[in-house]
Structure 1
Amino acid sequence: MATLPNPLPRLAADPSGRSLGLALPLGRLIDATAEGPWHEPLLWHGAYDAAPGAWTALGSPAARVGLLPVLVQTGDCQDALDKWGLRPALMSYPGDHDAEEVLAEFWEGEEIAEWDTAGDVLAPFGPDWPGPAPAGTLTADPAVRAAEVADSLLADGSLPTHGSYLEEMRLALVPARRSADIPAAIGWTGPLNHENDVARLGAVLRSWEDRFGIRVVALTPDQLVVSVAAPPTTTSDAEALAAEHFAFCPDNITQGEHDTLRTYAAEEVLGQRMWSFWWD
Structure 2
Amino acid sequence: MTDAERDLGRLLPSGDPSTVADLLPPGRLVGPRQDREDAPPVLWLSDGPAPFGLWEELHRAHPRSGLWPLLLAPLREGDEEFRPWATGELSTESASEPDWYDPAALLRNGWEYSTTVDSDGEPLDPDEASELGRSVAPFLDGWPGTAPAADRTGDPDGAARALARELLAFNANLRIGLVAAAGGAEALTACGWSGPVNHEDDIAKVSAVLLDWERRYGTRVVQVGFAELELSVAAPPVDEPTALRIAAEHLAFCPDNIFQGAGTLTAYAPGLIGAPQWSFWWD
TM-score category (smaller protein): 0.7 to 0.9
Structure 1 residues 19 and 84, CA, compared in 2 at 3 Å: closer, same or farther? closer
In structure 2, the partner of 1:10 is: 9
TM-score (norm 1): 0.85
Counterpart Cα distance in 1 of 2:240 and 2:33: 42
From 82, 98, 112, the equivalent of 1:108 is 112
- Name the SS of the counterpart of 1:201 in structure 2: helix
Indicate the residue corresponding to 2:197 in structure 1.
192
Q: After superposition, what is the alpha-carbon deviation per residue over 1:139-181, rounded to whole angstroms, capped at 9, x for unaligned?
A: 6311111010011000014xxxxxxxxx621111111122211
Alignment partner, residue 31 of structure 1: 31
Are 1:276 and 2:279 an aligned pair? yes
Query: Aligned pair 1:44/2:44, yes or no?
Result: yes
Alpha-carbon deviation of 1:185?
1.1
Write the letter of the residue equivalent to 2:130: T
- The equivalent residue for 1:126 is 140
Given that 1:249 and 1:278 are in contact with CA atoms closer than 8 Å, whether structure 2 keeps it comes out as yes
Normalising by the residue count of structure 2, what TM-score does the alignment of the two structures yield? 0.84
Q: CA deviation at 1:20?
A: 4.2
Q: Deviations over 1:194-218 (max 9, x none)?
A: 0100101111001000000000001
- Structure 2: distance between partners of 1:61 and 1:220: 23
Q: Answer yes or no: is the 8 Å Cα contact 1:112–1:127 preserved in 2.
A: no
2:164 pairs, out of 130, 150, 156, with 150
Instruction: Give the superposition deviation at 1:90.
Output: 1.4
Question: How far off is 1:95 after superposition?
Answer: 0.7
Aligned to 1:227: 232
Q: Give the 3-state SS of the residue equivalent to 2:149 in structure 1.
A: coil
Q: Which contiguous aligned blocks of 4+ residues in structure 1 show a shift greater than 6 angstroms?
A: none
Distance in 2 separating the partners of 1:149 and 1:126: 35
Percent of counterpart pairs with the same letter? 39
**Which residue is 2:130 aligned to?**
117
Question: Does residue 1:178 correspond to 2:183, yes or no?
Answer: yes
Q: Deviations over 1:83-126 (max 9, x none)?
A: 35211111111011110110111111123483341522111112
Rounded to whole Å, the distance in 2 between the matches of 1:84 and 1:116 is: 40
Deviations 1:62-83 (A, max 9, x none): 4422101111114553663143
Aligned residue pairs: how many? 259
Corresponding residue to 2:249 among 244, 253, 257: 244
- Go from structure 1 to structure 2 and tell me whether the alpha carbon gap of 1:197 and 1:106 turns closer, same or farther (over 3 Å shift): same
Query: What is the root-mean-square deviation in Å for CA atoms of aligned residues?
Result: 2.2
Which residue of structure 1 aligns with residue 155 of structure 2?
141
Three-state SS of the structure 2 residue aligned to 1:226 is strand
| Larger helix fraction of residues | 2
Determine the C-alpha separation between the residues in 2 that align with 1:185 and 1:8.
Answer: 17
Would the alpha carbon gap of residues 18 and 199 (structure 1) be closer, same or farther in structure 2, given more than 3 Å must change?
closer
